[in-house]
């Protein structure tokens, strides 16, 4: 039976265990839309595919844009935002998943992963990093560890070393968009 939160495949069907999909919310307590924003409401609030035959009106669900994965016990795990996914070599790479793998290497203080346009890959992966306190970044060692521990499609094409803290957005999160813009600007000059 369907629950109030599910991972849904691109076809709109519930995902199998360990299959990533978009988090979809439904139920009586789900919002009706965005205040005074019909365009954003139409993008995120849509009829749920395969509606129950007993319902007179189609059920509206919120398609969150979050990619999650359900385990065998039905617990959902956040993977990343659909709009932040890096599309490289035909793969979708979660920046969050990549960042967690790099943090586990204990070679960086901060890390942010993002994609930049690439003529043959679609996007190339870039890591913006800072050093661990009182240390320096060994970009070659970091890249070697990435090659050793990560699948080939997740290995970054470039390591962008920052002397100071990475920029943050108004929510206090590392600002990947600003980092990508700054990286592209430096690359263009």
CB 60 within 8 A of CB 45: yes
Note the pLDDT tens digit of each residue in 111-160: 999 999 889 988 999 999 999 987 888 999 999 999 999 999 999 999 99
Q: Could you give the angle at which helices 95-104 and 139-149 cross, rounded to 10 degrees?
A: 110
Give whole-number Cα distances, 89 to 18, 93, 106, 144, in Å. 22, 10, 27, 20
> What is the per-residue pLDDT for 2?
43
Average pLDDT score over the chain: 84
Best-predicted range by mean pLDDT among 43-47, 48-52, 76-80, 107-111? 107-111
Spell out the alpha helix ranges (H) of 66-130. 95-104
Q: Quick check: 52 pLDDT over 80?
A: no
Note the pLDDT tens digit of each residue in 80-113: 666 678 889 888 888 988 999 999 999 999 999 9
């Amino acid at each position: 039976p369907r629950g109030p939160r599910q991972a849904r495949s691109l076809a709109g069907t519930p995902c199998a265990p360990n299959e990533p999909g978009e988090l979809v919310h439904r139920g009586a307590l789900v919002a009706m839309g965005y205040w005074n924003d019909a365009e954003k409401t139409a993008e995120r609030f849509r009829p749920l595919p395969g509606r129950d035959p007993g319902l007179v009106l189609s059920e509206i669900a919120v398609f969150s844009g979050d990619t999650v994965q359900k385990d065998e016990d039905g617990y959902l795990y956040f993977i990343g935002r659909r709009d932040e996914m890096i599309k490289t070599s035909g793969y979708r790479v979660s920046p969050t998943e990549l960042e967690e793998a790099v943090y586990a290497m204990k070679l960086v203080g901060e890390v942010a992963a993002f994609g930049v346009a690439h003529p043959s890959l679609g996007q190339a992966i870039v890591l913006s990093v800072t050093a661990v306190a009182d240390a320096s970044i060994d970009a070659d060692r970091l890249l070697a560890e990435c090659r050793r521990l990560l699948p080939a499609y997740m290995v970054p094409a470039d390591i962008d070393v920052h002397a100071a803290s990475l920029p943050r957005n108004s929510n206090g999160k590392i600002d990947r968009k600003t980092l990508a813009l700054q990286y592209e600007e430096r690359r263009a000059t």
